[in-house]
Structure 1
Amino acid sequence: MATHNVFLDPAGTSPFGLAVIVLAPTGVTYEHQCEGLMTSTRAAEGFLVPVPSNDYDPEANEAFDVEGALLGFFHKEFRGNPPPLEEWRQGQVESLAQVVSRVPFWSTPTGSAPSELLHLSLDLDRIAEATEAWVPVTTPYGPGILVFQNCD
């Protein structure tokens, strides 16, 4: 299979919202700048799924800004310098998991089964990979990486 590389927002000037790289053997590798001010680049093979930046909160009868909450979490907790996971303070993983659980993700099965609105979950088996703009998640299609604008 031919391999193709796609760099998401290579100039860092065109934020694209939220997206998930669902890990799969597609021959397409997505690269993304992440890790706050350290500005490392990571890559994953799979297919890209844009996801909504807002989630409807029925209790408050309003939209919840998921993208803003993710950006706010990394800014407030790490100020552009996310450390390795073993240096995260108690409660930070739980806080990130709570925000990730608000990211809407449509499951679109084949055949006559209806589409279903679900939500992502933080993949705790791969939590060591987590950093700003690169968060391991579980999707209806399997493991993935939630990507968003890096703070640099």
Structure 2
Amino acid sequence: MGPRRFVFLDPDGSAGGWLYAVVEAATGVVYQQQYGGTACRQGQVEGFLVPLFEPDGLDALRELFERDFRGAGTRHITWPEAQRERLRGIIGALRYWVSDGISEEPHPLRLDDSRFGAADEAWVPVITPDGPATLVWLNSD
């Protein structure tokens, strides 16, 4: 494989309402994202990007992180069970189209409980039919 390439998602914050799943895979392309609200954390994940068109889901994610958690990120916070279940419900309502070129049906995403400690605003570990992924969207800071 050649040199790795780095793609910063929406570096100047001007792209508007977007929601992507970055599926982990050895592609040589590393997506970088600012996340965690005003904590302004930096994350990166190697894989392939799958755009999701889910305006209601995006609004629900933003409401949860920006209103309930006040846009300050969730690192070192013990999530109340009600918010954790709400996040699980929001993620489960998102639809993902499999990248195998055969399937023509959307599938729900699942919150990846094994990596829940990494969940933060604009950076949520999920499971797709294509494998583990990170759900990303425009950080609120």
> TM-score normalized by structure 2?
0.92
1:62 corresponds to = none
SS in 1 for 2:59: helix
Kept in 1: contact 2:30–2:47 (CA 8 A): yes
Q: Which has the higher strand share?
A: 1
Structure 1 residue 86 displacement after superposition: 4.7
Distance 2:58 2:67 in 1: 14
Structure 1 residue 15 displacement after superposition: 2.5
Closer, same or farther in 2 for the Cα pair 1:72/1:44, shift >3 Å? same
Distance 2:20 2:103 in 1: 22
2:73 corresponds to = 82
Q: What amino acid maps onto 1:6 in structure 2? A: V
SS in 2 for 1:101: helix
Give percent identity, aligned residues only.
Answer: 39
Kept in 2: contact 1:33–1:40 (CA 8 A): yes
| Runs of 4+ more than 3 Å apart | none
- Structure 2 residue runs of 5 or longer lacking an equivalent are none
Distance 1:33 1:84 in 2: 14
Structure 1 residue 90 displacement after superposition: 2.5
Q: What amino acid maps onto 2:11 in structure 1? A: P
Kept in 1: contact 2:22–2:135 (CA 8 A): yes
Distance 1:12 1:25 in 2: 27
SS in 2 for 1:37: helix
Are 2:38 and 1:34 equivalent residues in the alignment?
no
Kept in 2: contact 1:5–1:29 (CA 8 A): yes
1:60 corresponds to = none
Structure (1 or 2) with the larger CA radius of gyration: 1
Distance 2:99 2:7 in 1: 24
Q: What amino acid maps onto 2:61 in structure 1? A: L
Moved more, 12-21 or 81-90: 81-90
